[in-house]
Structure 1
Amino acid sequence: MMALVWKNIVVRYKQAYLGVAWAVIKPLTLVLVFTLIKSFIGIPTGGIPYPLLTFTALIPWIFFQESASEGVNSVTSNGALVKKIYFPREVFPITAMATKLVELSIGLVILAGLMAYYGVMPGIQALWIPVIIFYTMIVALTISFFGAALNVYYRDISQALPIALSLIMYASPVIYPLALVKDKLITQQAAGPWSEPLYQLYLTNPLAGIIDNFQRVLLRNLPLDWETLEPGLIATFLVLPLSYLYFKRAENYFADVI
């Protein structure tokens, strides 16, 4: 598996002039765009500098987004290996995600620099970060297993995925904090009697709890908020076995279809 991880890293960056610098350019560019948007519409940040708040949200989001995206394409992009020899095909989505750990590490180093610049020091609660990252990996694999199997038979999946992931980003607290959603739906009851059900539905998106708690433990030194994590955890661990079973059932025919 490590050989595949290394191959993915080499293939990804050997043709790129800026190499791993793209792991820094992408989140910083998005932070600049989001900061510009905030200057027009105003977004409460709870006292945290907005660029730092947004960059912290983008670290788990980009890791999830790119892990899921490459995971879905991992089987079809390794078609020659699939036809040549048999080994457990789940290695492909897992190695695609493992490759992204390199970029995640770079992002965390940049985040540490931003935190130092703004004078925000992590506390003991930052020890939850590896747990949150592991949870993010599970969520990415949940999508990757199902999507990778489906993409073998229907190549439109890889074309539709960027659109779906963009929609998920706007339904996640990346540009805005989760506290704003809670204030609108729970405190202000903006949707009337539907406010609380809509808030719970929002939390079934695992990224909502992941991003909020990533910011919570790192920037505010607060313990995990299980209330925001629980709906997404339940959804993930209900769907993950089904996703994996579908993948294992479909893999018997990958070589024939590819």
Structure 2
Amino acid sequence: MLQVAKNLYTYRELIAALAWKNIIVRYKQAYLGILWSVLKPVMLMLIFTLVRSFVGIDTGNIPYPVLTFAALMPWIFFQESAAEGVNSVTSNAALIRKIYFPREVFPLTAMVTKTVELGINFLILAGLMYYYRMVPTVHAVWVPAIILYTMVVALTVSFFGAALNVYYRDVAQMLPVALSLLMYASPIIYPLDLVKQKLLVEQAAGVWSERLYTLYLCNPLAGIIDAFQRVLLKGLPPDWDTLIPGAIVTAVMLPFSYLFFKRAESWFADVI
């Protein structure tokens, strides 16, 4: 993993150039430009708020729209970084055939591109918090660490998926479906406190309740979203009990994912 950090620094100018090219190409002929990137979380927030008015979801003293938008921010950043990261090698086939440089630059570039959209979403969240008169506390200093952790999780998916997608193009088609399903296993529409209440307090799944809750937390996004909401909206530090299971899964999978990517890298130019 130190090699990833080294390559990120060594090829920082190339990553910046490729990221800028991706942004220009994506929004060059779009009338609304980069604002298209914020329509997705805003529309999802409005839809979830409408659904919540029918089913009823207790969010305590935190307004549901801002709670949901804060959940959608790290989720969409992860989802789109992973999706573009998986496609990043095959979409740069011409460049791969011409010159050699570490191929992990492509998934890293896909992730850097998405930080621009994440920054815009932070402005929208700030507007929502101002509207609801919510002021972040000192615990907001945890936000950069949470975003960094989200990047690591996205790279874990991107490295493995990008290598596999070179040989099996169905991977790029399957990933959006898998991530859409994962969204419902993450505390986006509903808060994590509701899951904890149902499984740990009410024992809704009987003897399996505690195991199901631990399995739920093995999804790194569960801990990430909860921590993001806690430090920005609730004025609380991250709950390490919810972060640790997903962090362990990520720590185990990231080296395997990166080694798989590097092993497959030698044949990218031949297969593409």
Q: What is the Cα deviation at residue 107 of structure 1?
A: 0.2
Q: Decide which of 160, 169, 177 is 1:146's aligned counterpart.
A: 160
**In terms of mean alpha carbon deviation, does 11-20 or 179-188 score higher?**
11-20
Q: What is the Cα deviation at residue 15 of structure 1?
A: 2.6
State how far apart, in whole Å, the 1-side matches of 2:26 and 2:156 are.
23
| Cα-to-partner distance string for 1:94-120 (whole Å, 9 max, x where unaligned) | 000000000000000110010000011
Aligned to 2:191: 177
Q: Does 1:129 align with 2:143?
A: yes
User: What secondary structure, in the 3-state scheme, does the structure 1 residue paired with 2:250 have?
Assistant: helix
Aligned to 1:11: 25
Q: What is the Cα deviation at residue 23 of structure 1?
A: 2.1
Q: Does 1:77 align with 2:91?
A: yes
Q: Does 1:243 align with 2:257?
A: yes
Aligned to 2:66: 52
Question: RMSD over aligned Cα, in angstroms?
Answer: 0.6
Q: Decide which of 100, 107, 111 is 1:97's aligned counterpart.
A: 111
State how far apart, in whole Å, the 1-side matches of 2:49 and 2:87 are.
32
The list of structure 1 runs, each at least 4 consecutive aligned residues, that deviate by more than 2 angstroms after superposition, is none
State how far apart, in whole Å, the 2-side matches of 1:11 and 1:101 are.
16
State how far apart, in whole Å, the 1-side matches of 2:88 and 2:25 are.
13
Aligned to 1:207: 221
State how far apart, in whole Å, the 2-side matches of 1:234 and 1:70 are.
25
Q: Decide which of 151, 170, 179 is 1:165's aligned counterpart.
A: 179
State how far apart, in whole Å, the 2-side matches of 1:22 and 1:170 are.
24
TM-score, normalising length from structure 2?
Answer: 0.94
Aligned to 2:7: none
Q: Does 1:219 align with 2:233?
A: yes
Q: Does 1:36 align with 2:50?
A: yes
Aligned to 1:87: 101
Q: Does 1:25 align with 2:33?
A: no
Unmatched tracts of structure 1, length 5 or more: none
| Fraction of identical pairs, as percent | 71
Unmatched tracts of structure 2, length 5 or more: 1-14
State how far apart, in whole Å, the 1-side matches of 2:74 and 2:171 are.
23
User: Given residue 260 of structure 2, which amino acid in structure 1 is its aligned partner?
Assistant: Y
TM-score, normalising length from structure 1?
Answer: 0.99
User: What secondary structure, in the 3-state scheme, does the structure 1 residue paired with 2:267 have?
Assistant: helix
Q: What is the Cα deviation at residue 18 of structure 1?
A: 1.2
User: Given residue 32 of structure 1, which amino acid in structure 2 is its aligned partner?
Assistant: L
Q: What is the Cα deviation at residue 12 of structure 1?
A: 1.2
